[in-house]
Structure 1
């Protein structure tokens, strides 16, 4: 019988959690671009790159909330953007 202890080990759980966090980050980045696109806001290549390469789900969450109210895509990054209420 095969040793399956790795699949219940702390290392295995850490790897799974990293995968889940990466998936959340990718999903939020995609959602930001969807919201900006739906609002017909142009997204420069550099801005798109910054959004899609970010791996911090909480930072992306803030950007997603801001994407619903900003006038330009770049405003999602600024301190002067509307707060996430």
Structure 2
């Protein structure tokens, strides 16, 4: 393999590693944001005096979709019950 090709391969590998680090960083940020949003939902429910059973708490903390978490937070601020907050809660 020529020196030119080795240099290109090395540069390409470095680029791939940098992209992987950037993607990992982005995923970490998104996970952190989802966790904070879930905790905000739980805080709103706690402040409003709405009991949250363990199964519902786990469901809220496991949710990663920002739109769903935002919808739940909006509902938690005005809801009278947990069933009014979470979609499909039986």
TM class, shorter-length: 0.7 to 0.9
Q: How far, CA to CA, are the matches of 1:44 and 1:17 in structure 2?
A: 32
RMSD across aligned C-alpha pairs, in angstroms?
A: 2.1
Structure 1 residue corresponding to 2:37, chosen from 28, 31, 56: 28
> Is this contact kept in 2: 1:63–1:76, CA < 8 A?
yes
**Runs of at least 4 residues of structure 1 off by over 4 A?**
none
Instruction: Tell me, in whole angstroms, the C-alpha distance in 1 between the residues paired with 2:69 and 2:40.
Output: 9
Partner residue of 2:28 out of 11, 19, 22: 19
Structure 2: runs of 5+ lacking an equivalent = 1-13
Name the structure 1 match of 2:68: 59
Partner of 1:70: 79
Relative to the length of structure 1, the TM-score reads: 0.76
Which structure would you say has the larger Rg?
A: 2
How many residue pairs align between the two structures? 75
Bigger share in helix? 2
- TM-score between both structures, scaled by the size of structure 2: 0.73
